[in-house]
Amino acid sequence: MSGRWYRAYEGTTTDAKLAEVALVVGCSRSVVIATWHAILENAAGVNDGGRVDIPARRIAAVLCEPLTVIEGVMAEFETVGMLENGYVTAWKRRQFESDSSTERSRRHRERKRNGDATLQQRDATPPETETETETENNSHPSDVRSMREKVAQIDGRQIDDWFDEFWSTYPKRDGGNPRKPAAEKFEKLVRKTFHPAAIIAGARAYAEACRRDGRFGTAYVKQATTWLNQHGWQDDYLPVGAPAQPAERKPRAPDVWRKGMIAWLESGQWPFGREPTPDDPQTEAPPEILAEFCVSPGRHWMDCRRDWLAKIGGREEAMRIKAELGMPAERSVVAA
């Protein structure tokens, strides 16, 4: 084992990209998640800016999955932008050198050497009087309070004041957003190395980005603690006033759209993340695919399913179409 750490973030099990990969490949989401973590673990061991050198067949052997499935999963990771030219995208932004056990050991040895040197210096120069020792070890309470207050101030402002500004700047969300753990995390960050002004500026940029893409005030805004844990202020956000740019994505093949449509007809859940659903006038689904599945703006998915089944000749034909598309038979429109 290499002894290196790698970071995995909250939201992996519900990530829309991983769900899309599972849908396209026709495997369970657990296989996709396990494959992704095998890739992250390998990149951490290689320790070359996110480079991956583990072949699909080795992952297939470790996970006891068919090689064709793992090859398909890894190919789709490229399609959705999680891998690019053999590298994990955004690796340097999400993984930190401080996670290295080697780096932690080096810092520990350095602290120990400094501590031993200080101890030897003290032993070599004894105090002139007992009073001097007592004064050193028994500081007056007011002196202790003064030191703590000094540490609690940054640029003349209390850390609590900095956090109040951060909290009022951070985008509002629908759902829980506990203040206390966020305040504790904020204090730890600014007491270490990060300036609160930089964190607040990042929160302001994140809030503007959420307003532009419609996330502001919804459950899609991250909890403040999660955002702080992920060093969200270091992410790249479009400047205020700039138009939001859609994420680059390769065009979906018609059969991928068909798989998504069938999944939507079965449960009403659109598998392509936060993209508009097929019944939304802003949907990205091609018109010919919508017509094929009897979908039009504003129509309920159950009405669309009923008309589609009638159009193709019943549930047995629906099962045949699913089999041709390589979709798992664990759930089907025939049982709806």
pLDDT per residue as tens digits for the range 129-166: 444 444 444 445 454 444 445 456 787 889 999 999 99
Q: How far is CA 319 from CA 253, 271, 323, 334, in A?
A: 21, 19, 6, 7
Q: With 90 as the cut, is the pLDDT of residue 93 above it?
A: no
Q: Using H for helix, E for strand and C for coil, what is the string for 51-112?
A: ECCCCHHHHHHHHCCCHHHHHHHHHHHHHCCCEECCEECCHHHHCCHHHCHHHHHHHHHHHH
Q: Round to whole Å and give the CA distance between 43 and 118.
A: 40
- Asked if residue 76 is part of any domain, the answer here is yes
Kindly report, residue by residue over 163-196, the tens digit of the pLDDT. 999 999 999 999 899 999 999 999 998 887 788 8
CA distance 169 to 188: 19
The Cα–Cα gap between 153 and 195 comes to: 11
My answer on whether 217 and 276 are in the same domain is no
On whether both 20 and 86 belong to a single domain, the answer is yes
25 and 84 part of one domain: yes
* 281 and 226 within one domain: no
Q: Is residue 187 situated within a structural domain?
A: yes
Q: Is the pLDDT of residue 326 over 50?
A: yes
What is the structure's pLDDT at 86? 85
Contacting residues for 198 by C-beta, under 8 A, at least 6 apart: 233
Q: Check whether residue 236 and residue 258 sit in a common domain.
A: no
17 band by pLDDT with thresholds 50, 70 and 90: confident
Is residue 113 exposed (0-12), middle (13-18) or buried (19+ Cβ within 10 Å)? exposed
Domain that holds residue 70: 12-98
Least confident range of 143-147, 244-248, 327-331? 143-147
Domain boundary among 194, 228, 245: 245
Residue 139 confidence (pLDDT): 47
Coil, strand, or helix at residue 28?
coil
Sorted by sequence, the CB contacts under 8 Å of residue 128 that are 6+ apart come out as none
Kindly report whether the global pTM for this prediction surpasses the value 0.95: no
pLDDT at 118: 52
Transcribe 306-326 into DSSP letters. Answer: HHHHHHHTSHHHHHHHHHHHT
Q: Does 159 share its domain with 241?
A: yes
Give tens-digit pLDDT for 198-210.
Answer: 899 999 999 998 8
pLDDT value of residue 204: 92
Shared domain for 164 and 239, answered yes or no, is: yes
Say if 119 falls within a structural domain: no
218 versus 99: the higher-pLDDT residue is 218
Domain end position, chosen among 74, 98, 122: 98
Is residue 161 domain-shared with residue 238, that is, in the same domain?
A: yes
DSSP codes, 276-317 = PPTTSTT--S-HHHHHHTT--TT--HHHHHHHHHHHHTSHHH
Contact call for residues 50 and 91 (beta carbons, < 8 A): yes
How much is the pLDDT for 105?
Answer: 60
Over residues 218-239, mean pLDDT: 85
Q: Is residue 60 part of a domain?
A: yes
| Tokens at 331, concatenated | 């759930």
User: Do residues 236 and 270 share a domain?
Assistant: no
Q: Is residue 73 part of a domain?
A: yes
pLDDT over threshold 80, residue 109: no
Query: Which stretches of 171-272 are assigned E, i.e. beta strand?
Result: none
**Torsional class of 68: left (φ above 0), alpha (ψ -120 to 50), beta (otherwise):** alpha
238 and 259 within one domain: no
Give CA–CA dist 43/89, Å, rounded.
11
For residue 3, what pLDDT band results from cuts at 50, 70 and 90? low
Q: Could you give the number of structural domains in the chain?
A: 3
Is residue 283 in a domain? yes
Taking each continuous run of H as one helix and of E as one strand, the counts in the chain are: 16, 4
- Residue 51: count of CB within 10 angstroms of its CB: 14
Whose CA is closest to 248, among 91, 24, 89? 89
The pLDDT value given to residue 240:
46
The secondary structure element, H or E, covering residue 157 is strand 157-158
Per-residue pLDDT band for 1 (boundaries 50, 70, 90) equals very low
Which pLDDT score is estimated for 115?
A: 60
Q: What is the pLDDT of residue 85?
A: 82
Would you state the pLDDT for residue 332? 58
296 with 311: CB under 8 angstroms?
Answer: no
Lowest-confidence pick of 124-128, 132-136, 221-225? 132-136
Please name which of 29, 28, 86, 79 lies closest in space to residue 56, comparing C-alpha atoms: 86
113 part of a folded domain? no
Mean pLDDT of the residues in the chain: 79
Residue 116 lies in a domain: no
Q: Point out which residues pair with 84 in neighbouring strands.
A: 87
Summarize pLDDT for 285-296 with one digit per residue, the tens.
Answer: 999 999 999 999
Last residue of a domain, one of 219, 245, 271: 245
Percent of the chain with pLDDT over 90: 31
Kindly report, residue by residue over 253-309, the tens digit of the pLDDT. 899 999 999 988 888 888 887 788 999 988 989 999 999 999 998 889 889 999 999
Q: Which residue has the higher pLDDT, 126 or 30?
A: 30
